[in-house]
Amino acid sequence: MADRRNIDVLAENISRQLPDPIAQMPGAGLTLVPFATRKLDMQIMAAMRAAALSISREDCSAVLQTALQAGIARDDLADFYIPELARELGEDWCTDMLSFASVTIGVSRLQAMLRDLGPEWAGDQSANPAAPSILLIVGQDVHHTLGAMVLSGQLRRKGLSVRLMLGADLKDLAQKLSNTSYDAVFISSSSGESLESLRRIVYVIRTASKTTTPIVIGGTILEVETYYDVTALTGADYATIVPSEALELCGLTTKYLTAAPPLREV
């Protein structure tokens, strides 16, 4: 029973902490995942779900190959299919259709699929040296890493340079910021986090950064806290659930963005 709250927060974030549908950034040509407009192949969805819950890791690679051969683009698998499957797993946990262990394994397999789909998306090889750089943070002991991984891949494929820190320890974060300058810092937060924990992260960013860097907090924290409270009580510059708005608020442009290079077969 002592772990029930953590489990509930994990299930909530699996089903809800994923990039929201967003509109095109005015004048910038950057569009990130208008999820609601995409029709998904239910047979592929069912096969991917079965693979994620399978005892065999090889099933994940096989189902991705099947999806690609069926004509589904890698970007669509990463941006639409995997997030929707994560939501389904979270909902099935909430309705007691899946165990905590099954959901944990399933989400881990979805993360593996995401990495297999785009090994180049895991770094900044495709970014123009002049492109804006973003540090995307998920705090320590926070269980919503899949959404941040999806978002970082989307931004990288649009040409942005993104450093993703999962489970960011404050000491490691300070060291990273003291050695590298970023154009913006995004903090992906959940409804299970406290504003005090976010305030500590913001404080480290402010004191360790070599330059004045805009800080944006987003995520399901904004479903339980007001935008004003999030910024006023943490010290962040902005709070938004819309990634394109975050870019605009930070004064970032996309004029240097380039398309990601062709990807290898899985």
Over 70: is that where the pLDDT of 221 sits?
A: yes
Residue 153, Cα to own-chain centre: how many angstroms? 8
In which band, very low, low, confident or very high, does the pLDDT at 232 lie, cut at 50, 70 and 90?
very high
Q: Hey, which residues does 55 pair with through a beta bridge?
A: none
Over 90: is that where the pLDDT of 9 sits?
A: no
Over 60: is that where the pLDDT of 98 sits?
A: yes
Residue-level pLDDT at 121: 62
Instruction: Look at residue 136 and give its three-state secondary structure.
Output: strand
Over 70: is that where the pLDDT of 189 sits?
A: yes
pLDDT in tens, 139-179: 887 766 787 888 888 788 777 888 989 888 899 999 999 99
Q: Where are the domains of the chain?
A: 4-121, 133-249
Task: Give the count of alpha carbons within 13 A of 217, CB side only.
Answer: 32
Residues 133-249, CATH architecture: 3-Layer(aba) Sandwich (3.40)
What's the rounded mean pLDDT across residues 176-185? 92
Residue-level pLDDT at 150: 82
Query: What percent of the chain has pLDDT above 70?
Result: 76
Decide: residue 262, CB within 10 A, 0-12 exposed, 13-18 middle, 19+ buried.
Answer: exposed
Looking at per-residue pLDDT, the higher value among 36 and 244 belongs to 244
Looking at per-residue pLDDT, the higher value among 231 and 242 belongs to 231
